[in-house]
Each structure stands twice: as structure tokens, then as C-alpha cells.
Amino acid sequence: MQFIFFHLMPWTGITEHGKDWPVANKYFEPERGTEFYQNYIDSMVYAEECGFDLVGCNEHHFSPYGLMANPNLIAAALTQRTKKAKLAVFGNLVPLNNPIRTAEEYAMIDVMSGGRLFAGFMRGIPHEYVAYNSNPSESFGRLHEATELIIKAWTEPEPFGWEGEYYQFRSVSIWPRPRQQPHPPILMSASNTESAEFAARHRAKMGIVLLMDLASTKENIRIYKDVARAHGWEPTAADILIGQHMCICDTDEEAQMHLQAGCNYFYGVLGGGVRTAANLVLKESRFYQGEERRAAVSQRRRDLANEKIEDAIDKGAVLCGSPDSVVKQIKRIHGELGNGVFNITMKVGNIPDPVVRKGMELFKERVLPEVRDL
């Protein structure tokens, strides 16, 4: 079993202002921001010492939800401060960026790290399209074409031209090429039916961004495997990544208290503006196919803001409690889903950094030895 230490780099202490969209950047304090980046990168480096196999980061815009407008900058810093952990960049948001620039920067990270990159090709969540003034109805089409273009840029040894529906380049020959051959492993979101099918068609590792419930996740895994087989390949457990919030403390009660507070801030404050902007996209575009699907996504976001941690634990959506409890929860999820990777977020909302650090140590000492060989 492999574990990813994933970090959103949230801004803490913003209270009600986080519910606006976009959030006014007058609330950002640059001096404090420097401390945030230093502390967060230190935590990601420490994750390697705590036995995490990969360290993860991602891309978000116009919000205190996450301070990584460019996750490649964080990954580049980590190439110099980690030695063994893979670097899982869970997005670049490919439809919003220049695909050749994405191919170049990913190749740089792979070479700088000695071949440790897991390259995320993400479509993004709806509000990113408001931030970058991009047509969300084209998101799947752009993601598909950009994926093909990036892979060709990584693997074609001679200069080539590209004339596509969305991208045109007279001549492409990137320097450097990736160190991993034929190219770094590709990660794609598979949190819904459309995305699961898309990831399977592109032979990418499937990532459930956050596990919502076991039944729908199990169905997405089935779809992913079926489509993969139809396209001539067989996924393994290592191709299935399950994302979950995790809080480990000495007791169940302490862990539940901290994770409940962190989720309240994460969904209620940081997620407020994101939901507002997302609703605009869902009403005005084909980002998700069908009115029923769009309505379900909007309702799910509202439900998460009011969910009790005890209920989330019961349905397997989070890992929370004492080390013994978390071991049982991990075994339960793995037994149900057969995944080979857990993508773990421990800095959920405004959970204090000392609580996160203590949880990482408990994970190393009392959880990992019990679940490593699952």
C-alpha cells in the first residue's frame, strides 16, 4: 500500500470574507504568506521522513482555498529538498494552460527530481473557468487534445507540427525531455463516470479526489476497469488512488473535534466562494452532462458543509481517530475498493499545524506498520 501526503496550502483565519467570489486579495498578508509557504513546504518535506511514498500538490485560483496558483513551483522546490518520495502534481489544470508550457515544466521537474514525477492532467473544478475566463463547455475537448499533444511532445524525438481543434503549433521540440521513459506516469481525476471513462481511455492512473461514499466510488472503479479492458490494458491496484481527509490523534474524541472544526472551515468558509462561482458555471455550461448531474454536484457541495464527522466516518468518507481506529478504517476502505494508493490530506482547513505534525508522527509510528503490506 502506498500513501500520498497531499497539501492544499489553505489560507487560515479569513472568516466570513472567504464566502465572497472572488475573494478580495486585500485580506492576504504577504509577510504571513511567506511563513505559510515555509511551514507548508517543511511539512511536505517531513512527510518523506514519516514514510509517505509520494508528496502531492495542486492548482487553484482566486481564492484562499489554496495558495498554489502554480503547483510546479512547489514541486520544483521539493525536488531540491526530498530524495526518495515521488512528486505527485495533481494538476496542472490542462484545459486552462498552454499544453506545451505544461509539457516543458513537467519535463523539467522530472529531470530535476531524478525521475520522480507523477504528472497530473486535471480538468479542474468549475470555478477555475470563471477565474481564467475559459469556456467550461470545452473543458473535456481541450483536456483530450492537450493530453495527446503533451504525450507527443514528451515522446517524439524529432520536431513536429500540431494543427488541432483547440491548439496549433508550427513546430514543437521541447527541451528537456522527461527522464522517465516513455514518459512520467499520468494521473487523472476519476470522481465521476465521465472522468473515470476518460482516465481509462488515456491509460492514466485514476484519482478519486475525495471519497464521498463507498457505493459510488466502487461503481466508478468498475467503470474505469471495464473501459480500460476495452482499450487493451489491465489496471492494477497501484492505478487506483483514493483521496481522503485524515486526522490522527491520541484519542477518537480529540481527532473528531479537530477534523470537524477543520471541515467546518474548509467547506463552510474556504468553500463558500468556490460554491458560488461553481453554481454560475453549472447553470451556464456543459461542464457536467445533464441537468440531473449538475444538480447533484451542487447539492453535494451544500451537504458537505453540514456533514457531521461521525457520519463521514461511518460511510468511509474520512479517516479519523486514534491510530488503532484509523488502521481499521484504512483496512475497511481497502477491503471494499481494492485500491493500492491513499491520497491523504491532513491539513484540512484550519486544523492547527502542531496537530497535523503530531498526526504525521502517529501515522509513521503506529499506523503505517499495520497497513503497509495490505
Domain count, the chain: 1
Nearest to 102 by CA among 68, 70, 67: 70
Half-sphere exposure of 251 (CA within 13 A, CB side): 3
Q: How far apart are CA 22 and CA 130, in angstroms?
A: 9
Nearest to 2 by CA among 78, 121, 109, 86: 86
Residue 66 belongs to a domain with what CATH number? 3.20.20.30
- Segments forming the whole domain that contains residue 147: 2-371
Specify the pTM: 0.93
- Please give the full DSSP string across 184-242, using - where no structure is assigned: --EEEE-SSHHHHHHHHHTTPEEEESS---HHHHHHHHHHHHHHHHHTT----GGGEEE
Q: What is the pLDDT of residue 297?
A: 52
Q: How many CB atoms sit inside 10 A of residue 299's CB? A: 10
Q: List 206's β-bridge partners, or say none.
A: 188, 240
pLDDT digit of tens for each residue in the chain (374 aa)? 999 999 999 999 887 666 667 788 888 999 999 999 999 999 999 999 999 999 999 998 888 889 999 999 999 999 999 999 999 999 899 999 999 999 999 999 999 999 999 999 998 877 788 788 888 889 899 999 999 999 999 999 999 999 999 999 999 999 999 999 999 999 999 988 889 999 999 999 999 888 888 999 999 999 999 999 999 999 999 999 999 999 999 999 999 999 999 999 998 888 876 766 666 666 555 555 555 554 555 555 556 667 899 999 999 999 999 999 999 999 999 999 999 999 999 999 999 999 999 999 999 999 999 999 99
